[in-house]
Copies of this chain bind each other. A is one copy, B any other.
Amino acid sequence: MSTFEFPTAIGASDATSITLLGHDLASELLGQVGFAELAYWLVAMRRPTPGELRLFEAVLVALADHGLTPTVIAARMTLTGAPESLQGAVAAGLLGGGSRYLGVTEDCGRFLAETLAAHAAAGNALPADGDTDGWDALALAAVRVRRDAGGYVPGLGHPVHKDVDPRTPVMFGLAETEGVLGPHLRLFDAVGRVHEQVLGRRLPLNGAGVCGAVLADIGLPVDMLRGFALLARTAGLLGHLAEETRNPIGPALYDAVDRSAVYEPPPV
């Protein structure tokens, strides 16, 4: 393996120092960089602006918890069986972060980014910020294409928040305040206005979707958006696993499921 080299830009260390992202960890980062800021930096390979950071923290807070979801149930059940392995319970919880739940953030960011990229690739300029008609036309075309291809339009609808997802207007407001409201959010906003013309019913812009639009607008790579949902969810899982340790519901949940099982033997 003498000729192999594994390049990395993340970090390195020697006997007296640790370097992270080109900075001395001890003297330049500890106490001077926040954790969310570091998480952004590790992926984007640049520090966020203060406005980007505020939105990034808001997204992580928005995505941290959604109650006793399937991923939380999986994590708590895993801790019930293997209480000695907290890492196993966290990992089990993250593994449910796939296409149906945590995937919406990434799907929405990608849908918006691909729409913008295709528009630019066709030689078009983006609409001006206040050109509502221009954004609506772009959104309408994108929703139609997606619908005609048999795909779903990500970021629309929520099983509980039927009219308005309370996170959505707040995230738009924060982005406006911080000056980071960019083309992904503008396009997403327009999707909210026009989708009824194509889909035949009005659905709210959901929180997972707006978080995907925000993450794209603050400069994070679309391929990694699910990763930030996983990071946020890790904090939520720790909260649930700490609660499970203090006040377990796992055994009662197992008992409840077991009592509700109905055995329907197969034809022998």
Contact = CB atoms under 8 A, between A and B. Distances in A.
A87 B85 contact: yes
Given A66-B11, A230-B87, A42 B96 contact: no
B247 A238 contact: no
A36 B164 CA distance: 28
Contacts of A38: 60-61, 64, 235
Nearest to A224: B242
A233 to B, nearest CB: 9
A83 B97 CA distance: 10
Interface string A230-264: 11101110111111010101101111111111111
B224 A231 contact: no
Given A10-B67, A36-B36, A228-B238, A87 B94 contact: yes
A91 B94 CA distance: 7
Contact of A235 (B42, B83, B263, B267): B42
Nearest to A235: B39
B230 A86 contact: yes
A100 interface: yes
| Copies of this chain, tallied across the complex | 4
A238 B42 contact: yes
A95 B100 contact: no
Interface stretch (A17-25, A137-145, A182-190): A17-25
Interface stretch (A69-77, A115-123, A125-133, A148-156): A69-77
A30 B73 contact: no
A69 B74 CA distance: 11
A139 to B, nearest CB: 24
A236 B42 contact: yes
A30 B58 contact: yes
A68 B242 contact: no
A191 interface: no
Given A9-B266, A35-B60, A167-B30, A88 B85 contact: yes
A114 interface: no
Report, nearest first, the 5 A-B pairs whose CB atoms are least far apart. A82-B98, A1-B1, A42-B239, A2-B2, A81-B96
Given A31-B57, A221-B242, 4 more contacts: A83-B98, A84-B85, A86-B224, A87-B226
